[in-house]
Structure 1
Amino acid sequence: MESLIELARMKELLSNSAAVMPANPRGAVQRYFGFPRMDSIERLDDDERKAKRELVDEVRKNLTINLDHDKMSKQFAVTIRDHGMGQVPAMMHDTLLSLGQSDKADKPYLIGVFGQGGSSAFSVSEYSIVVTRRAPQILKPGEDSGVGWSIVRAIQPKGRRDLYYAYLAASEDETVPRLHGAAADEAGFTQGAHFCHIKYDFGASDSAIARLLYPALNHVLFNPVLPYNLYALKGTPEPMLGTAQRLARQARLLGRQVALDKAFAAQPT
């Protein structure tokens, strides 16, 4: 989500270098994408609600989560793909692959601060494949338009109990392997980032994760800043707008007089 917001902010600065930054993530979404909180859209009149929902549906195409399952190995893979700002290959090791580092502290319109959120997925995967390409609209003169890629996995040193995470580097200066822009174009990788977590461990929920992932994500991201698409072992996407939006929609469909959208049996006194 942050990658999409930051891309919009960087494009804004290219056209107006003095533009004041948004005060918070929701303010950024309102400014750059044109819609308010997901649940509040359901409270608009019909025409405005339809217009805002069209904006939401367009934006969610730029952020997807895919769940795949290999029947032979009975293993899962989780892929997160965004079409946001991306990174140039030379900066990938200092940004997407860095653990505990962040340049977000002075950007109140972004969500994270400490650089721990996305990287926590490394700990529940056997290994992760990371691919990124800088959005062409924000490439500086002379910057690499190609793709950077790497593989991340845990390393268990012999004779020690503490493991560490390492990524595949192409040289001693810690930079990652890269592909030329022409190869990326041929592969259809235009911009943004791709994180694929192989052998993702869902714990006790493994057997039912395809069924549970939709309600679980809507619960955890109760009212997400941006919408996204979920492909949970399906060829068609499920729009992910959060449980707050779903409750607001139920209230709208059932009428204003309804206080709750679920009936509860009488409890003994």
Structure 2
Amino acid sequence: MIDELNDIPALVPKLLVQLASLGSITQAATALNVSQPAASKAIRNAEIRLGVELIRRDNRPLELTQEGQLIAEYAKQQQEKEDALIQQLRQIKKEGAGTIKIASFGASASTHILPNFIQRISQSSPNIKIEIYEYTDEGALSALREGRVDFAIIVDKQALDLDIIPVMTDRLVALVNENDTLSKQPTLSVQEIMSRDFILTKGGSEALIREWFYLSNASLKAKHTAVQLTSILALIRAGLGISIVAELAVPDSHPNIKVIPLMPEHPRPICVARKAGSFSSHAAKSAWRCFEARLQ
């Protein structure tokens, strides 16, 4: 029966809806801007196809049979769903409704970068909902490439499969106990860093830190390791060594610890990225335009 119903022209259910209200094929046809003969033929062919009568023709005004009422009710429900869908799409287009997912490389990006972007998005499209997921830098990149998020705040990769918008440039800095003589230095070299026990972060900046040691022709030797920055700060306060982290990751309050730039500096370009190609939603497209507006 489903196949037969699919074979019925879309005009027939609409005619039955109108006929149930108007009681006349002529008036139903006029309401749908078709001729009366075409309407009658369409209904008759549908009856033949289905093997049941859809109209009680011996009554005036005309009435639908139970089978005709079933089809008319089905058509009304479909029309209501279609109307609701159209309304929802119009709202999405007009107000930017929808949900976007953004990956960031931990608290530093979420704290210092995303609030500004979210504010921009909310101002232009107040009905967009935003979900933030925190990863390491590589984890954020993987989530983006696997389609689990719409955008990612990452260290600039210059990858061909990504569209990127520069956001800011971060840098590596040393964290030193204020009682350490190195805390008086304006900058710290790799030799000075290596003169102390080193505490290596296992968070998102580890690869960049290793790269800085490599470019400085030095071998990184970590005495301690930690994932959480709070743990690293506690170890430094206890006089157990010094560390290097991304400057954005340093909390506003870090008592008893000095933040010292490295020499040579090692910048960390940060960008917002998306997979090249089409957008997953209108909301994502609207959000990307907000990101692009930052460059203008």
TM-score, length-scaled by structure 1: 0.24
**Higher RCO, Cα 8 Å, sep 6+:** 1
Name the one with the larger helix percent. Answer: 2
Larger Rg: 2
